Amino acid sequence: MSQRLIHSIVVSGLVLLLSGCHLDMYDQPKNPPLTSNAFSSDSSSARPLPEGVVARGHARTDELLYTGKTQGKFSVFFPFPVTERVLRRGQDRFNTFCSPCHGRLGDGNGMIVQRGFPRPRSFHNDTLRAEPPGYYFDVITNGFGRMYSYAASVKPEDRWAIIAYIRALQLSRRVPVETLSPDERALLIRNNP
Amino acid sequence: MKVVSRASIVAFLLVLALLVWVGSSIYRAGYTTGVGVPREQPIPFSHEHHVSGLGISCEYCHVSVTEASFAGIPPTYTCMTCHSQIWNTSPMLAAVRTSAATGKPLTWIRVHDLPDFTYFNHSIHVNKGVGCETCHGPVDRMPLTWRVNTLFMSWCLECHRAPEKFIRPREEVFTMNWKAAGTEEGKELVKKYGIAVQQLSDCSICHR
């Protein structure tokens, strides 16, 4: 009797120990994001779309919104109204993706430039001030010289928001003092004694 | 005879308890959970250098963190936006250049890896005011990345049962070294962001 009891305890103990080691639900045979996969030639589980395929909801028919052009020429208009919300989003995206090189003020003296990256032209020079928004859109989307494309990290809507913010930066350098309200003038004097 | 068999049952149970105890402490030790152990990577990428030293924001590299379930590890292309021009002959970055030339992605060693039977989503946490720091610790001071929390179910639940102790304003989620003003603010944020605390420990939230 007692021997059977001991036996059953020992056996159930062993079974418990063994069953604690099953890991098949921890690593299931599926492909979560960012995993490798021996099946594909580049060993990544993420597959690029075959050429010419358009995913549902991703048809890019709006020429202005997605290329910055109208009838093949750089657009002078934005595809949507520039509101304060758009400007704030633009500021946030600009500081994240552009300021490392172009600097927070857009003068081309960001931290990465200080560490040896080629210095881009300042956004405040006359040629760049005269470029239409569509030109900026094209640079962000397709890159420019040694600057890589940011199409993969910045969505088209955010690219336009960034351009609106660059316009605000450009404007901020050339506002005649006379056009400021008394409050704004007082603030200016207080900040630049 | 009876005494001997009784004693051996007791002894066996004691040994079993000891085994369970040893096993569970090994299970919870830093050595097995990876907590506090910097991971060797194929390229010695330093968050300390890129984030604290150069001021690059998390989103420059982890682009999908506010919008998708996964934060994303940057592709080689992202490294090349800078390293095509700077440190572009350094042997430390040879693997990055090879990857860019061949199109074969870099293989990073995972620091965090939940079991496949749990569901996790970054965007909901980040958009409801849970900071990167709360879960990942002072990443900006890590020369090689390590894990600060166990990711055990008990750890998730500690927050899901009382999020007001951990939550911060949405604008501060990327901030490192953030200090809470007090739990009063946390309670207000829980209300403001409409966090449904009573549902947050339902099994089906994480095991779906």
Mutate which: B49, B85, B111, vs A, most A CBs within 10 A: B85
Q: What is the pLDDT of residues B41-62, one digit of tens each?
A: 999 999 999 999 999 999 999 9
What percent of chain B is predicted at pLDDT more than 70?
97
Q: What is the pLDDT of residues A23-47, one digit of tens each?
A: 778 888 888 777 888 887 777 888 8
Q: What is the pLDDT of residues A118-158, one digit of tens each?
A: 999 999 999 999 999 999 999 999 999 999 999 999 999 99
**pLDDT band per the 50, 70, 90 thresholds, residue A3:** confident
Two tokens, residue A57? 């909801």
Say what the ipTM of the complex is.
0.84
Contacts of B57 in chain A (CB under 8 A): 95-96
> Can you give the pTM of this predicted structure?
0.91
Question: A99: nearest CA in chain B?
Answer: B56
Question: B10: nearest CA in chain A?
Answer: A6
CA distance A26 to chain B (A): 4
Domain ranges for chain A = 63-191
Contact A26 B116 (CB under 8 A): yes
What would the CATH number be for the domain defined by A63-191? Answer: 1.10.760.10
Which residues of chain B approach chain A closer than 8 Å at the C-beta? 2, 5, 8-9, 12-13, 16, 19, 23, 54-57, 59-60, 63, 69-70, 72-73, 75, 77-78, 80-82, 84-86, 103-105, 107, 115-117
Burial of residue A50, with CB atoms counted within 10 A of its CB: 0-12 exposed, 13-18 middle, 19 or more buried: exposed
Two tokens, residue A67? 């290329």
Contacts of A153 in chain B (CB under 8 A): 60, 63, 78
Give residue A22's pLDDT: 62
